[in-house]
Amino acid sequence: MHWNRRNALHRLLLGAMSVAPGMSMGAPPAAAADPALPRALPVPGGIARIPLGAHAQRPLAHAGEVPLLVIGSPADWTALVGIPLAAKAGRAALRVKTDGPEREVPYTIAAKAYAQQKLQVAPRTVDLSAQDLARHERERVHQQQVMAVFSSPMPNAEALGMQAPVAGPRSSSFGLRRVFNGQPRQPHSGMDIAAPTGTPITAPLPGRVLDTGDYFFNGGTVWLDHGGGLLTLYCHLSAIDVKSGDTLRTGDRLGAVGATGRVTGPHLHWGVLLNRTMVDPALFLPA
Ligand code: ZN
């Protein structure tokens, strides 16, 4: 099982630079027609939208060494920059290559203060045994490989509005500084949607299944690749109905809500990754 998963991922990584044969992205959903999505919110955990102007070819843009998603059309291109929760407020810059020499494009990250949240969970998921720590370390390395995938942007990547993957009350807990059983841990890097175990989870946008597995913290997990470094993550699943390489249209079922991994109860943890950075999924949903 483990070997198969690694092997499948390896094939995906090798093939990640082009859209796979037979990969149909389908028609965009109604929400995707809104060119304002994702919304700009240039704060830690948010997204900067950087206008790049008109060019015949899609410009290449990077933050450090990490490639950025550039959306739009030859009439008007826009770079999307996912800003890490750990970023400092102030001046930042990306590198852009269009027709001429590479240039630096500055932008400003505004400050945002996130509140603290205290949670009680199973003690073995906070004070890890040596065995669980070793398992988590292997899984962390694997997850970093998944998060580094950058495939071709979707042909219709002009607007990237998403459909919520589960109907249910959405928490606004993205970015909260978390204290588990009295111990500070990483901030919350996704959106929690409360729903009973077994509730179907559907793809928010066309994409390809990049990875599935059962991980220590995330429990039953699915990663989708939407092209251009835009990935989505589904955690704590009770059932996984897809396998690596499957292509999904908006609304296709990928699994079911559960309470696996480190949780306080059944819910979907939904993550959205841009340029290897977890950003607030709410920015992709219609207001
Ligand atoms: Zn969560």
How far out from the chain centre does Cα 257 lie? 18
Ligand 1 centroid, distance to 174 Cα (angstroms): 8
Ligand 1 centroid, distance to 270 Cα (angstroms): 7
Ligand 1 centroid, distance to 189 Cα (angstroms): 7
Could you read off the pLDDT tens digit of each residue along the chain, which spans 287 residues?
Answer: 343 443 444 333 333 333 333 333 444 444 446 778 999 999 999 999 999 999 999 999 999 999 999 999 899 999 999 999 999 999 999 999 998 899 999 999 999 999 988 888 888 888 888 998 999 999 999 999 999 999 988 766 666 899 999 988 887 789 999 888 888 888 999 999 999 999 999 999 999 999 999 999 899 999 999 999 999 999 999 999 999 999 999 999 999 999 999 888 899 999 999 999 999 999 999 98
Ligand 1 centroid, distance to 19 Cα (angstroms): 30
Ligand 1 centroid, distance to 171 Cα (angstroms): 9
Ligand 1 centroid, distance to 269 Cα (angstroms): 4
Ligand 1 centroid, distance to 135 Cα (angstroms): 20
How many degrees, rounded to 5, is the angle at CA 54 between CA 53 and CA 56? 140
268 closest CA partner among 186, 203, 176, 210: 203
pLDDT number for residue 236: 96
Token pair 């251009």 is found at: 228
Ligand 1 centroid, distance to 278 Cα (angstroms): 12
How many degrees, rounded to 5, is the angle at CA 49 between CA 52 and CA 32? 105
Ligand 1 centroid, distance to 274 Cα (angstroms): 17
pLDDT number for residue 186: 85
Give CA–CA dist 145/13, Å, rounded. 8
Give the Cβ contact number of residue 152 at 10 Å. 15
Ligand 1 centroid, distance to 263 Cα (angstroms): 8
pTM of the model: 0.85
Q: Residues within 5 Å of ion ligand 1 by Cβ?
A: 190, 192, 269
pLDDT number for residue 204: 96
CATH 1.10.287.610 fits 9-32+113-284, yes or no: no
Token pair 């809104």 is found at: 34
Phi, psi of 206 (to 5 degrees): -60, 145
Sorted by where each begins, the domain ranges of the chain are 9-32+113-284
Ligand 1 centroid, distance to 58 Cα (angstroms): 34
Token pair 């509005």 is found at: 161
